[in-house]
Every structure is written in structure tokens, then in C-alpha cells.
Amino acid sequence: MGDGLTVAVLGATGAVGREFLDLFEKRSFPVKELRLLASERSAGTRIPFDGREVEVQAVSAESFAGVDVAFFSAGATRSKEWAQVAVDHGAVVIDNSSAFRMDPSVPLVVPEVNFGAVKPEDKLIANPNCCAIILLMAVAPLRELGRIERLIVSTYQSASGGGAAMMQDLLDQTTDYLAGREVKPNVTPHPYAFNLFSHNTAINSEGANDEEAKVVAESRKILDDPSLKVNVTCVRVPVLRAHCESVTVEFDRAAPSEEAVRNTLAKAAGVKVVDDRAGNHFPMPSESSGQDDVLVGRIRRDPSNPNALCLFVSGDQLLKGAALNAVQIAERLFARSPVRV
């Protein structure tokens, strides 16, 4: 990657923004200059990075002058406002919002699955929905065992998917509940402590919420399989970070053996098999939190369908579901096209 990159992070004060900074240090990402960008309200905040403090700036067009790569994690509205501005200044933008994911001209990328979708001329790359990333890390490797026709998915989504404010709301509600006080949600639409509810996004005319629709559409685009049948139910559970998913994978013929599935997943990049039947030990958010790998287990045949098998998956929503996936895209992109500065 040459002698280093000028890096911008838009949404630097949010939960995903903070993860970017940790990852830059842990992975020795070649940051020559770091620009932390946010709204006027957050300007002036100082955030530790690499033994010093970096001051957050209010985002402006000038913020992107000379930037090599910009990581966006400030929501779709901000991405639509600033992504093209950053690209026009010469930056590669890796956007964590939903703004451009289904734009046919914008690659939607999980590096282990479809990095080949990125063309040398692409300057805007979309980071997928967290549940779609975690799902496909477990499912995509199985395509070498046969054609996948259908996925049935139920998600168990943590508060981190709603950002730092939702994580704090869960902590506050839990404290109130345990103290015998009335639980009053401030961010979530329903009581969250010791409760679960349908994902807090709008319901469409077909009865699916926005999160479910995203997983369906994005999975098809990433796998380049518009005919893939996908049925998803997305639920919030009172866990701080790391999503879980129950997955049934249906093939176009008899399902592969459990041994073949374990062997395939064991060699898949970014995947860790946790499948201890004797100890009843399978993927859990308490163990996937803070891990780069997506955990996969409960590997078993579907007794109701000879063409199907079942999995249970857990992955850190803030890492592989968001910031880590974006950083991995940048690592591969600039390794392929090094920047000399």
C-alpha cells in the first residue's frame, strides 16, 4: 500500500466509527493521515488513536481533499449527501449505509465471497447489511457442495445493530428492570430488557420489515443469483453485540453429508466451526463478540427435507457485520492497486 494512506472516517463518533479506529491499529492499516468527520454537533470531540488524540471535524467538501479512502458510517442520508463529493475529490468510498447497496452500478461486497465484483474503475463500494454478511459467510462456501435453491433464516439481532444509543438504552432498561423500576424505552419501540420484538423497521405491504427485505435482496446480489429463494424473519434480542441466525439451506438435490459441510466450513476463510454436540456447545454471541471470525455450528440434516440441512451462526455485528468487512475491502483494494504517496 505504498508509504501510507490518507484516511477519512465519516461517522467517527458512532459505534461502527470507533471500531474502524480499533481495527486500523490492530491490523496495522497504513494510515498516514487520519481525518475524523461527523456532524457539527460532534465537532471538537477528541478520540484516542495510535497513542495520540485526533479531533473530530465537521464534515465539508474540503474534508475529502487528498483523501485516498473514506469509510462512511453515518447513515444513508449522509452517504447520499457526501459520497459523490468524496469520489469527485479522488477518494475511494466504502459505504456502510443502505444508500447504494442495490444500485446496479455499485458493487456490494463481502471480500471472501465476491471481491471479484469490484472493477478497477470502481470508486464507490457498498458494505452489505450486517445480517446478510454473517449469513453469507456461512452459506457461500457450501455452494461448492451443490446448487443452493432456498434459504430459510431467523435472526436474533443485538442492540449494536441500532448503534451506540440502542446499546445504552438496553443497558439502562436492564438496570431499571433489575432495580424494580418501571422500564421506559428511549430508543427502542418496545421494552428491550428481558424481551424480544420484531425488528424495528417499517413493515411493507407483503408483511416483511425493511431488514428482512434487505437480507433477501442483498443476498441475491452478492451471490449473483436473482432466482435464489429466501425467507427471513428478523428479531431484536436483548444482547449487546453479535447477531445470531438460524439457517436452513435447501439444495437442488440430496443435501451433502454433515461431514462434508463441516470440512468445507473448516477451510473457509473467516469462518470458525463451533459444533460440539457432546458438550452442547454451539455458536453464542458471548463468544463471537470481539471475534473476526463468524462462528458456525448446529450442523445437521433437516429431517423434514432430504435436500436441506440446518446451521446456527453467530457473528460480531460491529466487526464482520460492519467495520471489519469494510476494512477488509480496503485492504484488498489497495493491495491490488497500491497508492504511492
pTM exceeds cut of 0.85: yes
Catalytic annotation, pick one of 199, 234, 243, 244: 243
Q: Which pLDDT band, with edges at 50, 70 and 90, does 340 fall under?
A: very low
**pLDDT at site 270:** 98
Rounded to an integer, the average pLDDT of 290-305 is 98
CA angle 165, 169, 171 (to 5 degrees): 120
**pLDDT at site 336:** 64
Give the three-class secondary structure for 233. strand
Catalytic annotation, pick one of 89, 130, 131, 281: 130
Whether 190 is a known active-site residue: answer: no
Q: Which pLDDT band, with edges at 50, 70 and 90, does 2 fall under?
A: low
CA distance 145 to 262: 11
**How many C-beta neighbours within 10 Å does residue 209 have?**
18
Instruction: Pull the grid cell for residue 317.
Output: 455485528
Measured CA distances, 292 to 29, 116, 135 (Å): 15, 22, 14
**pLDDT at site 27:** 97
The label of the residue with cell 438496553 reads 170
Q: Which CATH architecture has domain 132-317?
A: 2-Layer Sandwich (3.30)
**pLDDT at site 341:** 32
Sketch the domain layout of the chain as residue ranges.
5-127+322-336, 132-317
The residues, ordered by sequence, that sit 6+ positions from 310 with a Cβ below 8 Å of its Cβ are: 246, 247, 248, 249, 298, 299, 300, 301, 302
Burial letters for 42-80: b for 16+ Cβ neighbours within 10 Å, e otherwise?
Answer: beeeebebeeeebebbebeeebbeebbbbbbbbbeebbe
Whether 130 is a known active-site residue: answer: yes
SS3 letters across 202-225 = CECCCCCEHHHHHHHHHHHHHHCC
CA distance 214 to 324: 20
Q: Which residues pair with 250 in a beta bridge?
A: 150, 308
**pLDDT at site 339:** 45
pLDDT tens-digit readout, 34-46: 999 999 999 999 9
Task: Specify the CATH superfamily of domain 5-127+322-336.
Answer: NAD(P)-binding Rossmann-like Domain (3.40.50.720)
**pLDDT at site 148:** 98
